[in-house]
Amino acid sequence: MDKPTALNQTFHMIMKRMVETGQAPHYTEIAKELGIAMAEGRKILHELFSPRIPGWLFPNTDFIASFAPFNNLPTQFRITIDGQQKWFGQ
């Protein structure tokens, strides 16, 4: 099996962090996790959010605002699992 691409690894890392904590990582955390330079982490993040996934960065920033099905900012769509409400939906 082929090694996952940097985009696949980035997608997986973001989704895993959203599920675990309810918060999206910053590109510096992505770069550290992938063992790459910070500038490369930022580049991969922006490449992932170009027309590839149903999500977006907060305008004019490098912060993940939404990553389907989760939203990193509070919305009226609260997700509760096992009595914990640490997620918001799109």
List the beta strands (DSSP E) in 1-90: 55-57, 64-67, 70-71, 78-81, 84-89
Q: Tokens in use for 82?
A: 């096992």
Residue 88 pLDDT class (50, 70, 90 cuts): very high
Q: Residue ranges of the domains in the chain?
A: 6-89
pLDDT tens by residue, 29-81: 999 999 999 999 999 999 999 877 889 999 999 999 999 999 999 999 999 88
Query: Residue 25 and residue 29: Cα distance in Å, rounded?
Result: 6
* Spatial separation of the C-alpha atoms in residues 55 and 37, rounded to whole Å: 24
- pTM value is 0.88
Q: Among 35, 61, 24, which Cα is nearest to 46's?
A: 61
